[in-house]
Structure 1
Amino acid sequence: MDDDDAAGLPLTIHPFGRTDAGAPTMVLLHGLTEAGTTWPDLVERWGERYRMLAVDLRGHGSSPRFARAELARTPEVMLADVLGILDAQPEPVVLVGHSLGGNLALHAALARPDRVGALVLEDPASPWPEDADPDSAPDVVAENEAFLDSMLTPAQRAGHVERMLRESSWSRAEIEAWAACKPLVDRRYVREGLRLVAGPWEAAFQALAVPTLLVLPDPAPMAPRAEAVTNHLVRRAVVADAGHCVRRDQPEAYAAAVEEFLGALPAQRPAAQPR
């Protein structure tokens, strides 16, 4: 089966946590070059409270690749995928996204506010400026290609795991899951389709109609300016000593911020419970 034939197949969704019909649902959208398998610490922490659906975004993990005709409109295709998942759920969900997944989660909540009970965005990826030169992207492409090339073999991945254990505060489970998914990325997507849902960034946050938590590192160059977002539904949690992967750099601070946010929501919305 070639990529065009596979493009119409459903995404891979990894179910974790509770399985009973009455459980509140949390949908997890990962970042660029990752997969639905890269949330092990959150699954362990919140699996007893939530039915957790961790998505392999199109072009990632074991989900379908992009058809050739879709490469010119990858953000629209990925957003449609996410909306389809939300529409299939019996109740509004807690929608959690990181980076690329945060960008998609933001726009999914704008499109389907009735399907999202709460939105958690971990350093969401901001789109290219509207006046940016499209030819400015190849450096990003080249960086991702070189990075993925360095993760192709088991020996290469093992080397990265050992390096990250030395250099980061990430748990071994997070590092191993992060490394394992890299060979599964659709390289044609990286070379030809690497785009984000566009549009005015800060206006998107102003338009949100669902309770939203932005979990940000300090500094957070991609974040909307605080003074430009006066929407009372949007809260910020700035986590010190964290980079772009806040939940891995400072897992306790990330989890505490999310649990406080979800726990303060009205009773009809799902609330997280600490371990």
Structure 2
Amino acid sequence: MYQAHRPSRSEFVPIRNLRYHVRVWGTSAPARPPLVLLHGWMDVAASWQFVVDALVEERHVIAPDWRGFGLTEGGAVDNYWMPDYLADLDWLLDHFAGDTPVDLVGHSMGGNIAMQYGGVRPQRVRRLVNLEGFGMPPLQPAEAPGRYGKWIDQLKRLHRGEMALASYTGPEGVARRLMKTNPRLSKDKANWLAGHWSVPRPQAEGGERWEILGDPAHKIINANLFRVDEALALYAAIAAPVLAVVASEDSLGHWWKGRYTLADFQERLESVRDVRLERVEDAGHMLHHDQPGRVAALIEAFLDASRAGRPA
């Protein structure tokens, strides 16, 4: 079992009628802004433990479980919307940072949220790191009728109980699932993550099963079309320097089969006024698990460059 070098503590914060669970490492220090870590889809805040352990310098680190993930309940909804994450983050920063601009790091969905939030509240972000937060392929207006219909159909399937997440006989099964999804994940880390990514729940027929700490409603597509022009407007409004980090394994090529590529993503990044791009070798989409030391080093070097008066 992986041993955390810097154990976190749990805090619960009232956010928009929800009891938000937040993992916190270290204590606030006037000389350093809070470091806020945003996890991705079907992940949890504890997923950042390996990166936090790899940081050279002790930091005040804040990592929320997004609504409907981890120990944050979803509020009895049957689908989730991107604007809610932006508002949740704003409330969280009110609580943990006040008027102090934060260093914001997001992975995957969390990276998308970080980029959008950086455009909505540019004054609240000192530096921004986006780990494989690519956004979505372009969608055309002609796709709207079919997409709304698919959204309704998925809602009906959810309410019929047809979109439940898989459950497991024990945490070992969860760990095996994690390693199957990410072959680079070591067994000790998978075992550690399984204890934070799932919980045992009693079954009606007796006994218990380990269930993933994620609301199945997250599987419902967004009814609205993703608009590239809107995303680029948000990118253009970001005032903070941005570090975009990609893995050597091409996730976009695997997911979208040419419909949306790394070249397309890099073209979108041209809308950001101050951006640099880095690549992490021998890593897939879960690069913060695969190469936490390299990811931590990139984050620290980028965040500390302006503090030391050096160019990024």
Fold conserved between structures, TM > 0.5: yes
Identity of aligned residues (%): 28
Q: Kindly indicate whether residue 291 of structure 2 is the aligned counterpart of residue 261 of structure 1.
A: no
Residues 239, 273 of structure 2: 8 Å contact kept: no
**Structure 1 CA distance, aligned partners of 2:42 and 2:122?**
27
Residues 18, 47 of structure 1: 8 Å contact kept: no
Q: Kindly indicate whether residue 81 of structure 2 is the aligned counterpart of residue 40 of structure 1.
A: no
Q: 1:110, CA displacement in angstroms?
A: 0.9
Tell me: CA distance 1:197–1:38, structure 2 relative to 1, closer, same or farther (3 Å).
Answer: farther
Q: 1:27, CA displacement in angstroms?
A: 0.8
Q: Kindly indicate whether residue 262 of structure 2 is the aligned counterpart of residue 217 of structure 1.
A: no
**Structure 1 CA distance, aligned partners of 2:25 and 2:92?**
16
Q: 1:7, CA displacement in angstroms?
A: 7.0
Q: How many residues align?
A: 258
Partner of 1:154: 171
Q: 1:99, CA displacement in angstroms?
A: 0.8
Look up the SS of the partner of 1:94 in the other structure. strand
Q: 1:253, CA displacement in angstroms?
A: 2.7
Q: 1:250, CA displacement in angstroms?
A: 2.4
**Structure 2 CA distance, aligned partners of 1:118 and 1:26?**
10
Residues 96, 105 of structure 1: 8 Å contact kept: yes
Tell me: CA distance 1:155–1:122, structure 2 relative to 1, closer, same or farther (3 Å).
Answer: same
Matching of residues 222-237 of structure 1 within 5 Å = 223=262, 224-230=264-270, 231-237=272-278
Residues 126, 196 of structure 1: 8 Å contact kept: no
Tell me: CA distance 1:195–1:51, structure 2 relative to 1, closer, same or farther (3 Å).
Answer: farther
**Structure 2 CA distance, aligned partners of 1:174 and 1:159?**
8
Letter in 2 for 1:225: F
Partner of 1:199: 227
Backbone CA RMSD of aligned residues: 3.6
Q: Any gaps of 5 or more consecutive residues in structure 2?
A: 1-14, 199-211, 253-260
Partner of 1:180: 196
Residues 39, 174 of structure 1: 8 Å contact kept: no
Matching of residues 81-96 of structure 1 within 5 Å = 81-88=88-95, 89-90=97-98, 91-96=100-105
Tell me: CA distance 1:19–1:229, structure 2 relative to 1, closer, same or farther (3 Å).
Answer: closer
Q: 1:117, CA displacement in angstroms?
A: 0.6
Q: 1:77, CA displacement in angstroms?
A: 1.5
**Structure 2 CA distance, aligned partners of 1:173 and 1:43?**
14
Letter in 2 for 1:238: R
Alignment equivalent of 1:105, drawn from 114, 118, 130: 114
Look up the SS of the partner of 1:225 in the other structure. helix
**Structure 1 CA distance, aligned partners of 2:88 and 2:266?**
30
More strand by share: 2
Deviations 1:56-107 (A, max 9, x none): 0000011121343xx4552122221012112331311111111111111111
Structure index of larger Rg: 2
Bigger mean CA deviation after superposition, 73-82 or 117-126: 73-82
Look up the SS of the partner of 2:20 in the other structure. coil
Bigger mean CA deviation after superposition, 30-39 or 259-268: 259-268
Look up the SS of the partner of 2:176 in the other structure. helix
**Structure 2 CA distance, aligned partners of 1:238 and 1:41?**
19
